[in-house]
């Protein structure tokens, strides 16, 4: 490995998180969500480890992600959660991927393509119960469910919705969305038809809304050991799987009154020791954290000073010591000190999801099963 900046991924911890969530929800099936390069952890590597752990299905955002998993040898069911356009449908059929049908027109397009392909399309129906993103409105969903009964080349394997506020303190919005979803599901009861696999619960709902678990739950950020918000309960056995670190490449003494980095936004009143670390916003370490972030050097938290550059940042050691080659932890633990995704999100003015998914592809991932 040539680059001093890299991300360490514990596949063993991801597997441990999977088992902890599995214990928490009892006999309910898990669909780990692997979109956005498995939240920055590595799509193919995470999928392979979780398939070994017993996962029977995965969720991704785009058809390209599903194809990448098939090419990597993943054999379990893969649901593509995002919206589709007509020309993509044959790709789903070719690679045995499950489509999301979110409208009558899209369902008809799937039926037409499957007929031409000579194969049954695997489909989950998407109901919008309050997200206003994709999916047919719950109050119009009868038309979609009726149409599904008229599509001989479509196998409706599931029906689902997505919760908008499950990681908040107020349970009201989640209860309302669940009520709307159950109203839609009564379609099958009224016609004495078997109900497809029902799923609604994301990470927030897994932690605090067991009434939404139904037949399957979709853990996203929780699989990677990060809780979706500060408001939700902590789940025992779940811990972060990503550690982001770099190494010192330069040490200098900066004289009093000599500004550091672009714009000369920071200077010290006394001579101070400053190190340069080869990581920046081009790697996903947000420029917005300038003047706020901390890193860990020799077990001590030290401040990032001056503006974060595209490829480098500077750290004020004050009177501390560091040598070229010393490890610098950006995310994770060193000794007793710790920096979390929540810390980085707070400094950047964003959420932990964005921190994890924005670690750039040029940052090497190094895997262990510990």
Catalytic residues: 35, 262
For residues 212 and 130, what is the distance between their CA atoms, to the nearest angstrom?
A: 15
User: E strands within the chain?
Assistant: 6-10, 29-30, 57-60, 77-80, 99-101, 121-128, 136-137, 154-160, 197-201, 216-217, 242-247, 250-254, 272-277, 294-297, 300-305, 313-318, 327-334, 337-339, 365-368
Nearest CA to 113 among 56, 154, 163, 171?
154
Q: At what angle do helices 141-148 and 104-117 cross, to 10 degrees?
A: 20
CB 173 within 8 A of CB 208: no
For residues 83 and 65, what is the distance between their CA atoms, to the nearest angstrom?
A: 13
The half-sphere exposure of 101 on its side-chain side, counting CA atoms within 13 A, is 26
The per-residue DSSP string of 128-179 comes to: ESS--SSSEEGGGHHHHHHHHTT-TTEEEEEEE---SSTTSS--HHHHHHHH
For residues 136 and 129, what is the distance between their CA atoms, to the nearest angstrom?
A: 8
User: E strands within 1-54?
Assistant: 6-10, 29-30
CA angle 73, 74, 80 (to 5 degrees): 130
For residues 183 and 31, what is the distance between their CA atoms, to the nearest angstrom?
A: 24
């Amino acid at each position: 490995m040539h680059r001093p900046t890299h991300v360490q991924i514990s596949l063993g911890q991801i597997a441990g998180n999977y088992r902890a969530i599995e214990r928490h929800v009892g006999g309910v099936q898990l669909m780990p969500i692997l979109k956005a390069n498995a939240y920055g952890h590595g799509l193919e590597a995470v999928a392979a480890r979780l398939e070994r752990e017993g996962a029977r299905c995965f969720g991704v955002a785009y058809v390209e992600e599903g194809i990448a998993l098939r090419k990597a040898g993943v054999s379990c069911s893969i649901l593509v959660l995002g919206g589709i356009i007509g020309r993509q449908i044959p790709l789903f059929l070719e690679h045995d991927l499950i489509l999301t049908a979110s409208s009558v027109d899209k369902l008809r397009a799937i039926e037409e393509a499957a007929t031409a392909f000579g194969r049954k399309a695997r489909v989950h129906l998407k109901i919008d119960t309050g997200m206003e993103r994709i999916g047919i409105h719950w109050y119009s969903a009868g038309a979609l469910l009726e149409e599904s009964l008229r599509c001989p080349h479509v196998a409706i394997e599931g029906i689902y919705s997505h919760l908008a506020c499950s990681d908040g303190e107020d349970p009201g919005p989640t209860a309302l969305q669940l009520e709307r979803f159950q109203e839609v599901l009564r379609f099958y009861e009224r016609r004495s038809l078997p109900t497809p696999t029902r799923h609604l619960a994301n990470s927030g709902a897994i932690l605090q809304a067991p009434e939404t678990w139904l037949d399957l739950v979709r853990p996203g950020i929780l699989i990677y050991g990060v809780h979706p918000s500060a408001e939700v309960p902590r789940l025992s056995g779940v811990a972060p799987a990503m550690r982001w670190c770099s190494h010192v490449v330069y040490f200098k003494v900066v004289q009093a009154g000599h500004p550091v980095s672009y714009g000369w936004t920071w200077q010290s009143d006394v001579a101070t020791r400053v190190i340069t670390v080869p990581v920046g916003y081009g790697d996903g370490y947000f420029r917005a954290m300038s003047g706020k972030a901390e890193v860990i050097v020799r077990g001590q938290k030290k401040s990032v000073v001056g503006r974060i550059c595209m490829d480098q940042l500077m750290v004020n050691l004050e009177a501390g010591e560091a040598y070229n080659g010393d490890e610098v932890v950006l995310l994770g633990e060193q000794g007793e000190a710790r920096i979390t995704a929540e810390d980085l999100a707070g400094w950047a003015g964003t959420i932990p999801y964005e921190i994890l998914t924005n670690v750039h592809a040029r940052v090497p991932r190094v895997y262990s099963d510990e």
